[in-house]
Amino acid sequence: MVAVARAFVDVASHLAALLGTRLELFGLEALEARDRLLLRLALLLAAALCLFLALLVITFTLALLFWPTPWRYWALGLMALAYALAGLALALWLVHKVRHDAPPFAVTAAVLGQDTQALAGLRRHRSEPDRSAGDPGGSST
C-alpha cells in the first residue's frame, strides 16, 4: 500500500512539473505576443503620424502651385483620388496580414499536442498485455 501511495505521489509530482513548464511556456509566449503587438502599434502610430504630416505638406504645396491656374480643381481631385487609392490599398494589405498571420501560442499548442500523443501512447502501451510475463529472462531459449 505504501508503494502505491509513493507511486501516486511520484506521478502527481511529475504531472505538476509538466503542467508548470507548460504554463511557463504559455506565459513566455503571452509576453512575447504582447510585446510584439505593442511594438507594432507604436510603429504604426509613428508611421501614420509622419505620413500624415508629409501628405499634408505635399497637399498644401501642390494646391498652392496649381491655385492660380485653371487646373486647380483637377489637381485637387487627382490628389484626393490618389489618397483614396492609397488608403484602400493599405486597408486591403492590413486585412491580408491579419488573415494570414501565424496564430498566437502556436508553440504551446504544438507542445500540448505532443504531450497528448505521448500520454495516449503510454496509455496504449500499458493497456497491452505483457507478452514477456511468461518468460522472465525475455529470451525464447
Nearest to 32 by CA among 85, 105, 95, 83: 105
Average pLDDT rounded to a whole number, residues 102-116: 78
CA atoms of 130 and 134, how far apart (whole Å): 9
**pLDDT of 134 strictly over 70:** no
**pLDDT of 118 strictly over 80:** no
CA atoms of 115 and 119, how far apart (whole Å): 6
**pLDDT of 63 strictly over 70:** yes
Grid cell locating 71: 487646373
Confidence category of residue 133, pLDDT binned at 50, 70, 90: low
- What's the burial of 46, exposed, middle or buried (CB within 10 Å: 0-12/13-18/19+)? exposed
Which sequence spans correspond to the domains of the chain? Answer: 36-126
Average pLDDT rounded to a whole number, residues 55-76: 85
- The more confident residue out of 135 and 60 is 60
- What's the burial of 36, exposed, middle or buried (CB within 10 Å: 0-12/13-18/19+)? exposed
**pLDDT of 130 strictly over 60:** no
Query: Average per-residue pLDDT in the chain?
Result: 80
CA atoms of 23 and 33, how far apart (whole Å): 15
Nearest to 104 by CA among 53, 55, 36, 18: 36
| Contact assessment for residue 108 and residue 28, using Cβ atoms and an 8 Å cutoff | no
**What does the pLDDT read at residue 76?**
83
**What does the pLDDT read at residue 116?**
77
**What does the pLDDT read at residue 95?**
83
- What's the burial of 138, exposed, middle or buried (CB within 10 Å: 0-12/13-18/19+)? exposed
CA atoms of 101 and 110, how far apart (whole Å): 17
**pLDDT of 136 strictly over 70:** no
The model's pTM: 0.47
Confidence category of residue 115, pLDDT binned at 50, 70, 90: confident
